[in-house]
Amino acid sequence: LERNIRLIKSPARVVNHDTNLDADLTNWAVSDPGNIFCLIDRPYAKNQTVQSAMAVCIDQADIFARFNDIAAQVENCP
């Protein structure tokens, strides 16, 4: 099964909070298609596409669902 990693669109609205990639230093991702949640050791920045990082990914539907709600508006990673 092929999976894709996507970025939350910037700017984005999470519940009643406006955020953007430059201001948000969260270190997580969800897969597309779903059920995989990943915690990453460094925040993603578009200018860091060749720097190394490590991720721990969990295939668990309940955890995925919570973060997938936040990541409802996404764009493809460069």
- φ/ψ of 67, rounded to 5, equals -80, -30
Cβ(70)–Cβ(14) below 8 Å: yes
Cβ(74)–Cβ(28) below 8 Å: no
Q: How confident is the model at residue 58 (pLDDT cuts 50, 70, 90)?
A: confident
pLDDT at res. 76: 64
- φ/ψ of 12, rounded to 5, equals -135, 160
Domain ranges of the chain: 4-76
N-to-C CA span, the chain: 21
Q: What are 19's two structure tokens?
A: 């955020």
pLDDT at 75 over 70: no
Cβ(58)–Cβ(36) below 8 Å: yes
